[in-house]
Amino acid sequence: MSRNIREVPAQTPFTTFNGNSYPTTSALKSAVWTPQTPIDLESVRSRHIRYGRNRLEEVTEGYIFRTTKEGVPYRLSQTDQGDIRVEASTDQDLQDAVEESRIRFGEGLPYSPLAEVAERVPAVADQLRRMPGYRVPVNPASFEVLISSISAQQVNMKWAHTTLYRLIETFGTRMELELMQWWRFPSPERLALIDPSEISALQYTNRKASYIVGVAKAVADGCLSGIEEEGNETVIRRLVALRGVGVWTAEWFLARCLGRPDAVAAGDLGVRKVVSRYVMGVEDEVFPEPEVRAAVESWGDGTNWAIHLLLERWAEEHSR
């Protein structure tokens, strides 16, 4: 493990399940890593209840339980010093979980370009002061990100989450660790064999159901192989070749799956709203994609993080 990751003795804390507290009984392997900038685990947890319960993770007092993209169950907590504690069943599982947890907390996104954007954009600076431990939610599970994006096309986020988690519970795999239960996202091989009508029965449109099965077949056949090594334009070109995947989905894939620091889904309505309101200073107009893209063009590698901070600001203001 790298020098800022250290193995620590297994812990025996109490965990909460169905309203009751139980001592953990298995000797989980444990490691702690120090983030490049402070992380607020509570701000991460708060996103799990914004649109409803997240079937892919179980959140209990002090812990987040989840699964790596390869199927390894693990749990996360935060030490009093602000480090991230990762626990899993075996040494190899622990190594995989540590590596993925660093990705999911956006450790690959550089902070200094964000600080430079904050110096020039007051709204970014203000939100950074209010949420100093906020990180971009990066998810390296590429198939999951694509299907989640298709689920969110042309519907509000609450309904997107509702249909997505029906899909997960119907075709996914139940996971368990330390008395907690949650779900692993369905594999592309599994969804590739599903009749689209079974997905439509979950209240997806017929078109979206067809898209999901088609993307599953393509991914199962290796269409995403090596995509993480490609440049942004090549990634977009490869993704939009898939039926049901447009530039909007491809740019969110760059931002939230590959964690590209300069990525922005400039055609997204939410992104257009926050840039129009907080960057361009207009409250009653939503500027078109080209003008939004031009407004953030100089942000460089601070773009992804800054846009997500502005989206958090919008969510706070419109949840009151």
pLDDT in tens, 112-134: 999 999 999 999 999 999 999 99
Residue 6's pLDDT band (cuts 50, 70, 90)? low
Q: What dihedral do alpha carbons 86, 92, 96, 98 form, nearest 10°?
A: 30
Asked whether the CA dihedral 116, 117, 121, 124 is positive or negative, the reply is: negative
Cα separation, 206 vs 199, in Å, equals 8
Whether the pLDDT of residue 15 is over 50: the answer is no
Residue 245's pLDDT band (cuts 50, 70, 90)? very high
* pTM of the full structure: 0.88
pLDDT tens readout for residues 183-225 = 999 999 999 999 999 999 999 999 999 999 999 999 999 999 9
Count of CA atoms in the C-beta half-sphere (13 A) of 275? 26
Cα separation, 34 vs 47, in Å, equals 22
CB count within 10 Å of CB 188 equals 25
pLDDT tens readout for residues 143-193 = 999 999 999 998 888 899 899 989 999 999 999 888 889 999 999 999 999
Q: What is the mean pLDDT of residues 226-246?
A: 97
* Residue whose entry in the numeric block shows the structure tokens 């989640």: 148
